[in-house]
Amino acid sequence: MYSWIFRNLPGPLWLRIIEALILIAAVVLLLMMYAFPWLNQYISPFTDSTIGQSTQ
């Protein structure tokens, strides 16, 4: 999968390496800003500080 993406990036090798890094950075940023905050509603291993309340 990743080798296919890398082969199909346009440009010479050095450009494709830069493109790949930008793609990785974009995916990480999307995860951090949107996917993880959403996921946090369902799986939050560290965040439960209240007491005697069933909602959290």
Partner 1 sequence: MNRAATATGRRAVRRRQSAGSRVVGFFGELLITLGIVLMLYVAWELWWTNIDSANAQNEVTSNLVQELGDVVIPEADHPQAEEEKDYGPAPITKIGPGETFGIMYFPSWGSSGIYHPVTEGVEDAVIDNLGIGHYPTTQQPGEKGNFAVAAHRQTHGQVFWDIDKLHEGDKIYLQTKKGYYTYTWYDTEIVEPSNGEVLLPVPHQWGMKPTESILTMTTCHPKYTTRQRMIAYSKLTDWRPLDAGPPSEIRDLVAKATS
Positions that interact with partner 1 (CB under 8 A): 1-2, 7, 28, 31-32, 36, 39-41, 44-53, 55-56
Q: How far apart are CA 39 and CA 55, in angstroms?
A: 17
Sequence letter at residue 23: L
Please enumerate in sequence order all residues whose Cβ is within 8 A of that of 32, keeping only pairs 6 or more positions apart, or say none.
none
Shortest distance, position 23 Cβ to partner 1, whole Å: 13
**Distance in Å, CB of 19 to partner 1, minimum:** 18
Shortest reach from residue 38's CB to partner 1, in Å:
11
